Amino acid sequence: MQRIKQEREEILKELVKKLGYEFKNIKLLNEALTHSSYANEHKKRKIPYNERLEFLGDSVLSIVISDYLYNHLATLQEGELTKIRASIVCEPSLANCSINMQMGNYLLLGKGEEVTGGRERVSILADTFEAIIGAIYLDGGLIKVSEFILRTLHETIQDAIEGKIFKDYKTQLQEFVQSINTKKISYEVINEEGPDHNKIFYVQVKIGDEVLGEGAGKSKKEAEQNAAQKALKKVM
């Protein structure tokens, strides 16, 4: 890993206080806050960026939330547990946690991403939150990251259990289709445009072989939500 300048380390310590977790290896936190656009603008330095940590954090978040719901909602079946989990780990919920801790202020972004509002972009903030989960998991293990997740997402979890969080479009489409059809819903990336740090994804949603809608977004998740929204307008 790259060395961290003293000034940057002091800035990271501000975020550490907000996270409520003391890193043994603060370089992991710095990597979690490094966007691919920044790394691409400094290729010669071979700076590690947060996509691998995001991949790991996504899985860790899912198992921690699944474990919590399984043990605290003993009367609910798989379908209901899945819907509650989906509303907790969706992009808007995770981005909201990032906003509450002002994570956007600590991001390392490329100039292009900076000027186009990357610090406030929902997909980037949600991905950053997942990357930080991955970093805490590597630094402190499952118990510590579970404590962080359940503390940080406490209100979101309770709202989801009480049904106060609006269902995402993918979940709404899934429920509607299942009520009238047994065919499987699938999402497929049909095109990608732009450089890695500012890519646009195009996704189509299908029931069987029938295309119901298409959507675009700065992330695959965002594009899928937009495709599902258009599909809902078509079928309902």
| CATH number, residue 223 | 3.30.160.20
Residue 209 is among the residues annotated as catalytic for this protein: no
Predicted confidence band at 189 (pLDDT cuts at 50, 70, 90)? very high
For the domain that residue 151 is a member of, what is the CATH number?
A: 1.10.1520.10
pLDDT at position 2 is 54
φ/ψ of 101, rounded to 5, equals -100, 10
Report CA-CA distances (Å) from 91 to 127, 168, 192.
8, 10, 20
Over residues 45-55, the pLDDT tens digits come to 888 999 999 99
C-alpha–C-alpha distance, residues 95 and 152, integer Å: 12
- Catalytic residue chosen out of the listed positions 54, 91, 113, 130: 130
Q: CB count, 10 Å around CB of 136?
A: 26
Q: Averaged over 62-88, what is the pLDDT?
A: 94
What is the pLDDT at residue 43? 82
Q: Whole-angstrom Cα distance, residue 178 to residue 165? A: 21
Are 114 and 193 found together in one domain? no
**1 found inside a domain:** no
pTM of the model: 0.73
Q: Are residues 18 and 108 in the same domain?
A: yes
Assign 121 to helix, strand or coil.
Answer: coil
Active-site choice (58, 91, 139, 168): 58
Highest mean pLDDT among 67-76, 85-94, 196-205: 67-76
Q: Specify whether the CB–CB gap between 41 and 172 falls below 8 A.
A: no
Which domain range does residue 229 map to?
169-235
Average confidence (pLDDT) over 94-104: 91
Domain count, the chain: 2
Domain identity same for 139 and 231: no
Whether 191 and 76 map to the same domain: the answer is no
CA–CA separation, 188 and 235 (whole Å): 19
Q: Identify whether residues 87 and 14 lie together within a single domain.
A: yes
- Of the candidates 175, 178, 186, 161, the residue with the CA atom closest to the CA atom of residue 88: 161
Q: Which residues contact 108 (CB under 8 A, 6 or more apart)?
A: 30, 33, 34, 35, 38
pLDDT of residue 163: 83
CA 169-172-177 angle, 5° bins:
125
For this structure, is 188 an active site residue?
Answer: no
